[in-house]
Amino acid sequence: MRKAPVNKIIPFSVVDGIGNRTSIFLQGCNIHCGYCHNPETQRMCTHCGKCVEDCPVQALYIEEGKVCWDAIKCVQCDHCIAVCPYFASPKIRFMDAAEVFEEVEKGIPFIRGITVSGGECMLYPEFLTELFKMAKEHGLTCFADSNGTVDFSEYPSLLECCDGVMLDVKSWQEDVYQALTGGLNQTVKKNLRLLAELGKLEELRIVCLPGQVDAKEAIEGIRETIPDQVGAVKLKLIMFRNFGVKGRFAELESPSREYMEELKQCALAAGFQKIIIT
């Protein structure tokens, strides 16, 4: 079975899809959003040793040139990720789908399903497929929380066992998207159309930050792309907060409530009916 780098597993979550769910966060991302609120999931550890020097309980050590993590000693203070200069974490476990599902099973029957996030979970499509098939055999729903930059159409087996995708649109205009993430969004738009056609679009998300994100253009672009589905798709407008953010966006302020309400009205005018402001 294929292994994936697991950043953490949250046994019970009510913010990662419908109902009580187990959320699995994978390490590694193919874009680097300026507003990322969990930047420690972006890159793999470089084994520089900076976190080892600063660990207050000596839960980290170097063995054969690599940083190792002692989960028993660790007190989850997260000082290691705070001092990491590379947007990484030393607290990663390489696990196959069966090992992850052993953790998921502990929550049955108190969970409705699982949600796999990141980082970017679609960097590990084979792992996702194996995990989702196990979950489906136990009657659990399966969601992928994705930035949409990996083409879902290339993984039909994954789409078959995935109940829905929580898609981060982020921004719409290509230059804005590139400035925000360092990537390109043509595949995001392709996935938006595909997932809507297949009925696999669980939720759309836009993190709202005036001057950095073209939220109004994104709302209109979504409407033009999937005009027949906007009324049925949940749209989550997320107010930017700088909690956990590193780098150039760390000192930026949250938008006003008035601005968020203005975006909601734009979404209503575009035909969205299921709008959530968080």
Q: Where are the domains of the chain?
A: 3-41+92-277, 50-83
User: At 54, is the pLDDT very low, low, confident or very high (cuts 50, 70, 90)?
Assistant: confident
Place of tokens 């940083």: 67
Ramachandran area for residue 244 (φ above 0: left; ψ -120 to 50: alpha; else beta): left
Global confidence as pTM: 0.95
CATH class of 3-41+92-277: alpha beta
Q: Is the pLDDT of residue 154 over 90?
A: yes
Mean pLDDT of the region 68-74: 95
CA distance from start to end of the chain: 38
- Please give the pLDDT value at position 1: 79
Of 116, 177, 188, which Cα lies nearest the Cα of 152? 188
Mean pLDDT of the region 169-189: 98
Please report, rounded to a whole number, the percentage of residues in the chain having pLDDT higher than 90. 97
pLDDT tens-place string over residues 196-236: 999 999 999 999 999 999 999 999 999 999 999 999 999 99
User: At 23, is the pLDDT very low, low, confident or very high (cuts 50, 70, 90)?
Assistant: very high
Distance of CA 227 to the CA centre of its chain: 25
**Rounded Cα distance, 180 and 153, in Å:** 25
CA dihedral 188, 192, 195, 196 (to 10 degrees): 180
Of 97, 162, 163, 108, which Cα lies nearest the Cα of 134? 97
